A and B are shown apart, each in its own frame.
Chain A
Amino acid sequence: MHDKNCSLFCRCHQAARPGRPARPRCQGSGDAAAMSRKRQRQQLADSLGRSAKHFNKREVECLIKLFDTLVAESSSRFAAAGFDRNMFRDTLHSAFGMTDDMIMDRVFRTFDKDNDSCINVVEWVEGLSVFLRGTLEERIKYCFEVYDLNGDGYISREEMFQMLKNSLLKQPSEEDPDEGIKDLVDIALKKMDYDHDGKLSFMDFEKAVRDENLLLEAFGPCLPDIKSSMAFEQKTFQEARKL
């Protein structure tokens, strides 16, 4: 678990997850002059302020600043164009207390709209817009994408099993520990599979969540809880103002 005394974005967790080879950084306009870069960022903030629905321009600036800081911190050798998978996972973990690697990978893929294994600044701001302040509709879509592991438009029985397999405490009495998970999958399907085709379509999922909001994160936490999201916003938007 994350040590609460650490700062929100401290790097100490990387040590806790050894064995991940550093991937090559995304290439970008790393060599651009500081002045032109600043102007560029200003333009970006303007356009994102308009496109990302839930942030105003100042908040967008704060998020860009945070993006730059985090990217700069992590890249020792050269200025990267964005987060790679590990960096992003670390950020999710330290800022929002997420722990499930598989889910965090899925969150990364969902943020990474262009599928280039790198989250650039636009993807970052737009992703956070849903992640922190998305409407129910946006969040349903987001969560469904997270849970649809293979991206085929359905959450299948197997995918559910994958996501839920660690959800039960070991019960020694249970002969087959998988039995309990399978039963849980059945329960979930019974609850959400309206068209009875043995898998969850987006329609199924949306209907189930609209009916019972608690099912939004039915297969694992992929959104920040209210406390960490409030803490994140406060830290990002208010501290930045002081600067």
Chain B
Amino acid sequence: MGAALARAAQWTAAGSGTGTLEITPLNESLLNQIIKFAEDFSTRHPQEAAFVFREPLEWKTQLGCSVFEEGYEIHGATVQSEAKGKDGQPLLLLTASTLRVRSFDQLSHLLQIAMEKKLKEAQACLEANRDPIMKILGPECGTVEGEDMSMLHLLEKVKKDDDPETEMKMKICLLLHQLDLQLLNSSLKHISQDVRLNPAAINNEVNLLKNFSGKGEDTVLESLEYTSDYMFCNGCRAPPWRQVHGEICYLVIKPHDTDPLYITCSTAGVFLNGGQQKGKDDIDYERKSDVYKDIVTFLRERSPRFVKNMAKQEYNFFKEPTYEKNYQRMEVVDAKVSGQSQNLYDLTEKNVCEKVKSSAARRRSIDKKKLEPSMKWKNTGLSASHRYFSDKATKKDTEEEGRNSAVSLKIKKKASGISSESVKIQRASKCKTSGRFEDISESSSETEEDEEQPVRRQEGNTDLPSEYWGIQKLAKYLKGGNPTATVIALCSMRDFNLAQETCQLAIRDIGCLEVLINLLDTEEIKCQIGSLKILKEISQNTLIRHAIADLGGLQIMVKILDSPDKDLKCLAAETIANVARFKQARRTVRQHGGIKRLVGLLECISVGSTSLTPYQSKDTEIARCGALALWSCSKSTKNKEAIRKAGGIPLLARWLNCSHANILTPVVGTLQECASEPSYRLAIRTEGMIENLVKNLSSEHEELQMHCASAIFKCAEDKETRDLVRQHGGLQPLSVLLGNSENKQLLAAVTGAIWKCAISGENVSKFREYKAIEALVGLLSDQPEEVLVNIVGALGECCQEQINRTIIRKCGGIPPLVKLLTGTDQALLVNVTKAVGACATEPENMMIIDRLDGVRLLWSLLKNPNPDVQASAAWAICPCIENTKDAGEMVRSFVGGLELIVNLLKSKNKEVLASVCAAITNIAKDEENLAVITDHGVVPLLSKLANTLLLAMVGSTDETLQEAAAGCIANIRRLALATEKAKYG
């Protein structure tokens, strides 16, 4: 019973001190079996039942004195049994509510009289006596972790002396062991129905979910992260002292629609824990939810949005080739418990023989440790036999594997009386999650182009594609031919489909890539060109890009930029443009003087002319290739600086005058990339580039339009730039582009540009003239979040004018805006609250907002963890209260709302404080609400703020802030007076 209790039973607060047994089906069935054992003990083993325990089993009982009748002496609150031990002490003693029992007889009897409280008593007894065997038989028989020596110990003793008590002990010990086996046996049935998770399975699931997480509408989660980056060598992330309890790792999951969830992944499954304690790294490990078989199942219960978006992803999710369930599932299909009728000594014999088998099986199972279940039952025959079967099953499994990759088969094994069970095993297959990913960016814009490479999977020993042999044959001539032979081979190689990954990787794997790069380092221009033509193609592949960089290819290509041969220069620049898609490559280009040379490629005479001679068109081509490479490089902040220092800005500005889209695209692309830097924004404004950017908004090429809009988006934070956009007639093409809602990237850039331009009132009037506001409202539904953020941002700016607020209402903009208040994207929420708040200043708009329960939505955003959202929501609440008729009533209807807002006065964020003060100013106009917030302690909070902050805010240059702060101070005064009055008046 020791082993079963220690290992099989499910304890809360496992291990540490006195845990409690959880009410689970497993525990209940264990308890029932123990009760049955104890109840029947006195009749089945009358001799042993008289044995007096070494120490009494002691626990707090719920039984009253009244239940004790025959055979007990009752003195007030004290009950003692008539049966006494040799020492004259009663074998059962109840004082107050503490019960002490010293024999199985008494235990049996007690359980009989406890009637329906049996279960509770047994539970309390076991909880208070974690190792009952030790108390019954003495410390030498306790269940020690590891090998159970008690039996041997006793056997020796029996041999040595003929003490009848030792023999008795031995018998009891065996009886208890029998119980133990029986318990384990039945618990196996329960446990094995569970999925046993392991670190690899969890890791797979986490990685998979991560692929579908992130910003955006359709992701299943906002994020999920391990709480610890450190992984122990067994794959667990839980600290060792928690691994003891089967815990593998902890995760913080942010669903779109609920608060962050802190979960524990353990071998038993996935459950909610107490979360990270504030200000501490520690996790509250206590289980707070049911146990689920995996993270997905858990999330399905918790997040409706997860379920919804999973449904969208379902196809991808389960078709995902890398997704292989890595946990073993063991199902006991048919398990009969038959231990009861077992002859004790038969069983002992059985035990011995099983143990022998078990060691053999264990040895074997080490070889196949993947299939070893993680339950650690080392010293019980049952587990051994179980293991033996599973091992056998594995072998069979392997035999049949040819037919089916994941064979599940049932084995019926009549295990001479112990149990007949059939074990179903699903073979775990290894999952390879290798593959290099592009580095993480150093600049904000850097991630955009850094696409991830699909993981390439090894197809084992299958035949290599025919391309391999063809390319290998040509590689021979590259390696061992003179330039003439090399050129023929290079040209033939281009007849392979170099856009295909098979060919790209064949070139790498055959060792051809080294040769190609070595060819660049020769004086043979034709070989260099031939090689670059191939490298340019295959560097579309991330793996090849990394390989080229690793082989030092970038340095050589940078050198080639000095070549007098124009074709060669172009090819080198284009290949650099491909390779420099990741950070380290960009750095290499810079460090080897590449930026300067690439900028040099832009220096050319023929800018601006429309009809080109072949000579000039070659120059344009060189400039185009140079701009392409600069565009790739410009994703690193230091390269932006290097381009500027190399004199790139005036050259880019010059090319911006030309009319060829193929060169304008990389030029504007580079400019918009660099516009993240203030120096570039200034230059774009002062070097007259806005005019050309505006001009190209009307280009036929959507990509070019997008980059122009994106550049304006980034630059229009600046007032003068906004004015320039207007003066050059840029607002109209921007408004027109709203009509092209199919190209979402373009739409995001255009709406962004409109948003920033709308910060200037003059521009807003123009937008109104071009009907942009109606168009924006029309776009409010069904857009990706990055577009919505911009649209709503633009509307928020437009709403600063009354006439536009009316327009928005008239074209039905308020309902979609209010609906967006339920979103999760924080940038979007900041903009939406601002827009809704601005709309609310119109009483007619407010009626609509109120009808749509918008104020409640705003109010609930005060709970958002992001201070920007909190502040923005609080600001938006102010006009809502001002413009609602029964504002006081409305505010009171938000359960807990007032307490919530008062508590925000504890925030450390000044903007939050300012906005909340403003909101409280409005709330406090209603006397009843004033009383409520006073109860919530608004006065001390405000006065504390008044001392520290408010006075400074009153002196602020921001008028709104000033007003809010002053209003607040006025309120504090009123509040204080009111409180006084309430107390003493």
- From residue A30, how far is it (CB to closest CB) to chain B in Å? 40
Q: Closest Cβ of chain A: how far from B496's Cβ, in Å?
A: 12
Map CB proximity to B onto A222-243 as digits: 1 under 8 Å, 0 otherwise. Answer: 0001110010000000000000
Whether A191 and B483, one on each chain, are in contact in the complex, defined by CB atoms closer than 8 angstroms, is no
Out of A168, A212, A225, which one reaches B477, CB within 8 Å? A168
A221 interface residue (CB < 8 Å to B) = yes
- Chain B positions 516-556 with a Cβ under 8 Å from a chain A Cβ: 525-526, 529-530, 533
Considering the complex, give the chain B residue whose CB is closest to the CB of A187: B492
- Whether A169 is near chain B, meaning CB under 8 Å from some CB there, is yes
Contact between chains at B526 and A219 (CB < 8 Å) = no
Given A169-B481, A187-B474, A212-B494, A226-B487 contact (CB < 8 Å): no
Closest CB-CB distance, B484 to chain A, in whole Å?
A: 5
* Residue among A212, A214, A217, A225 with most chain B CB within 10 A: A214
**How would residues 181 to 212 of chain A score, 1 for a CB under 8 Å from any chain B CB and 0 otherwise?**
00110011011000000000000000000001
* Contact assessment for B484 and A217 in the assembled complex, using a CB-CB cutoff below 8 Å: yes
Q: Verify if B347 is at the interface (C-beta below 8 Å from A).
A: no
- Using a CB-CB cutoff of 8 Å, which residues 460-502 of chain B contact chain A? 473-474, 476-477, 480-485, 487-492, 494-495
Please tell me if the beta carbons of A219 and B484 are within 8 angstroms of each other in the complex: yes
B485 x A184 contact (CB < 8 A): yes
Residues from 130 to 159 in A contacting B, C-beta threshold 8 Å: none
Taken together as a complex, chains A and B put the C-alpha atoms of A225 and B485 apart, in Å, by: 17
Given contacts A184-B477, A214-B530, contact A221 B484 (CB under 8 A): yes
Whether A214 and B492, one on each chain, are in contact in the complex, defined by CB atoms closer than 8 angstroms, is no
The bracket for how many chain A residues form the interface is: 20 to 34
Partner of B485, one of A164, A212, A217: A164
Is the C-beta of B564 less than 8 angstroms from some C-beta in chain A? yes
Q: How far is the CA of A167 from the CA of B483 in the complex (A)?
A: 8
Q: Name the prevailing secondary structure of the B interface residues.
A: helix
Please name the residue on chain A nearest to B565 by beta carbon.
A226
Complex CA gap A188/B484 in Å reads 11
Q: Which residues of B contact A167 (CB under 8 A)?
A: 481-482, 484-485
Q: Is the CB of A226 within 8 A of B525?
A: yes
CA distance A230 to B525 in the complex (A): 14
Is A218 in the interface zone, CB < 8 Å from B? yes
- Complex contacts, B481 vs chain A, CB 8 Å: 167-169, 184
Smallest beta-carbon distance B783→chain A, Å? 46
What residues of B have a CB within 8 angstroms of the CB of A187 in the complex? 474, 477, 488-489, 492
Q: Give the complex CA separation of A190 and B476 in angstroms.
A: 17
How many B residues touch the partner, as a band?
20 to 34
By the criterion CB–CB under 8 Å, are A226 and B485 in contact?
no
Partner pick for A217 among B490, B526, B533, CB 8 A cutoff: B526
Contact across chains for A215 and B487 when beta carbons are under 8 A apart = yes
A36 close to chain B: CB less than 8 A: no
Does A56 touch B at the CB level, under 8 Å?
no
> Among B484, B494, B529, which residue has its beta carbon within 8 angstroms of that of A218?
B484
Q: Which residue of A has the minimal Cβ distance to B564?
A: A226
Q: Chain A interface secondary structure, helix, strand, loop or mixed?
A: helix
Q: Is A166 an interface residue (CB 8 A)?
A: yes
Q: Are B492 and A169 in contact (CB under 8 A)?
A: no
- Complex contacts, B480 vs chain A, CB 8 Å: 168-169, 171, 180
Q: Which residues of B contact A166 (CB under 8 A)?
A: 482
For the complex formed, measure the closest distance between the CB of A23 and the CB atoms of chain B, giving whole angstroms. 30
Residue among A184, A218, A227 making CB contact with B564, cutoff 8 Å: A227
> Known contacts A167-B481, A226-B525, A227-B564: does B487 contact A218 (CB below 8 Å)?
yes
> Distance (Å) between the CB of A14 and the closest chain B CB?
25
A220 an interface residue at 8 Å Cβ cutoff? yes
How close is A166's CB to chain B, nearest CB, in angstroms?
7
Contacts of B525 in A (CB 8 A): 225-226
Of A180, A187, A219, A220, the most chain B CB neighbours within 10 A belong to A187
Shortest CB-to-CB span from B708 to chain A, Å, is 36
For the complex, give the distance between the alpha carbons of A98 and B495 in Å: 30
A206 to B97, CA, bound (A): 108
Q: B483 near A188 (CB under 8 angstroms)?
A: no
Which of A169, A190, A214, A219 is the one whose CB lies under 8 Å from B490? A214
Q: Nearest chain B CB to A218's CB is how many angstroms away?
A: 6
**Of listed B482, B489, B529, B564, residue having the most chain A CB within 10 A:** B482
A228 to chain B, nearest CB (A): 11
Among residues 27 to 43 in chain A, which have CB atoms less than 8 Å away from a CB atom of chain B?
none
Known pairs A183-B473, A184-B477, A190-B492; A164 contacts B484 (CB<8 A): yes
Q: In whole angstroms, how far apart are the Cα atoms of A29 and B212 in the complex?
A: 89
Given contacts A191-B492, A191-B495, contact A168 B564 (CB under 8 A): no
A-B residue pairs in contact (CB < 8 Å), sample of 11: A167-B485, A168-B480, A187-B477, A214-B491, A214-B533, A215-B487, A215-B491, A218-B487, A218-B491, A226-B525, A230-B564
Q: Chain A residues in contact with chain B, CB under 8 A?
A: 164, 166-169, 171, 180, 183-184, 187-188, 190-191, 212, 214-215, 217-221, 225-227, 230
Residue positions of B touching A, CB distance < 8 A: 473-474, 476-477, 480-485, 487-492, 494-495, 525-526, 529-530, 533, 564-565
